[in-house]
Structure 1
């Protein structure tokens, strides 16, 4: 479990292909590695990864093909910077919101506008995530806990202060940049709870009369 408060900027030192998977070597930057052990979790640009090897200033983690497919890791290269956060302890300050490190989808930066003391950033989320994004709600972008300031359909707006730009990969964003998104876990549970007894029913196939007509199985 994480809070979305980034502890350091790391750098992808090496990406080794292992079949369809990748073994990452991450330079930890300012991240305190003194209490890291094998099997620990470190959020890497919002993706919960397990430490399989480590040293004083680096760690290695394996990224499965499924994770590559569902996150921005498909576009990362050696030299790419990543936000780092170690898993929280019960005694830590809870400065952000509940973050699982399980990315829900990849968004795209639509625009960035500089104001006097903040940056206005619009992000286009995948359509299927729009229902979970609410005005003044929380969202995780590349592992950073942020507040949604405005919503327009599947697009949402963030206000980013200069400190956040300096201490996270958000400072490198430009229009078109792809970002890992994790919606508020509370919204996920609320959706499931609202199903009531229907939650136990088998998932529908999604095939109905409309689907058959659109795909040419029914004559007009």
Structure 2
């Protein structure tokens, strides 16, 4: 379980296709605090640590990425040299600063536009039709592992949805959102509460 509050970014230094894809991510964590078998959200994807090493502030860890995960996540995100948003799993007593995030990607969206709005950046992302019922103004959504508040929603003729986000300078600086460009794919996870509400409504009808 996660909150969508990114604690660091990492860089994929190795990507080795075995039975699954074994990737190694360098990061500024303390390897003594990375437990083998622990979960770390990597740009919104919950993955299990299988190796770790390095030194405090210059650590690395390895994870295995299955074919299923590759098929459900943003193309190119697992390439060597890619930057990844990182969040270790919640511990009892941790602050719930964002919203409840499972680390299970529901769909891949596309950045449609990026504009400066005051000191912030306005992003508009297109999500597929399957996610449209779960995205609402002032609701929560996870984009590449980051907990964000939806500011606007525009339903499209093809049943997809455009939703707008305002990214403050701090978030742009400490996550990958600062380097996103138009047409980039992003991992999306809908709000858990919205998921269950939709399920209950479908059973009633």
TM-score, with normalisation over the residues of structure 2?
0.92
> How far apart are residue 126 of structure 1 and its match?
1.3
> How far apart are residue 131 of structure 1 and its match?
0.8
Match of 1:160 among 161, 167, 171: 167
Between the two proteins, the alignment pairs up a number of residues equal to 196
Q: For residues 75 and 43 of structure 1, what CA distance do their matches in structure 2 show?
A: 13
Residue number in structure 1 paired with 2:153: 151
Residue number in structure 2 paired with 1:58: 60
* Alignment of 1:3 onto 2:3: yes
Q: Is the 8 A contact 2:75 2:185 kept in 1?
A: no
Q: For residues 137 and 188 of structure 1, what CA distance do their matches in structure 2 show?
A: 12
Match of 2:87 among 85, 104, 111: 85
The structure having more radius of gyration, on CA atoms, is: 1
Q: Is the 8 A contact 1:7 1:31 kept in 2?
A: no
Instruction: Give a deviation string over 1:153-175, Cα, whole Å, max 9, x none.
Output: 11100000111111000011000
Structure 1 residues without counterparts, runs of 5 or longer: 199-220
Structure 2 residues without counterparts, runs of 5 or longer: 156-160
Residue number in structure 1 paired with 2:21: 22
Q: 1:43 to 1:75 in 2, by over 3 A?
A: closer
3-state SS in 2 of match to 1:37: coil
Q: 1:17 to 1:149 in 2, by over 3 A?
A: same
Instruction: Give a deviation string over 1:52-80, Cα, whole Å, max 9, x none.
Output: 01113000000000100000155531111
Q: Is the 8 A contact 1:31 1:84 kept in 2?
A: no
> How far apart are residue 127 of structure 1 and its match?
1.4
3-state SS in 2 of match to 1:34: helix
Instruction: Give a deviation string over 1:118-153, Cα, whole Å, max 9, x none.
Output: 000000011111110000000000000000000001
Residue number in structure 1 paired with 2:115: 113
Q: 1:40 to 1:73 in 2, by over 3 A?
A: farther
Instruction: Give a deviation string over 1:167-218, Cα, whole Å, max 9, x none.
Output: 00001100001000000011111122223378xxxxxxxxxxxxxxxxxxxx
Where do 1:68-79 residues align within 5 Å? 68-72=70-74, 74-79=76-81
> How far apart are residue 97 of structure 1 and its match?
0.1
Match of 2:43 among 42, 45, 49: 45
Runs of 4+ in 1 over 4 A off after TM superposition: none
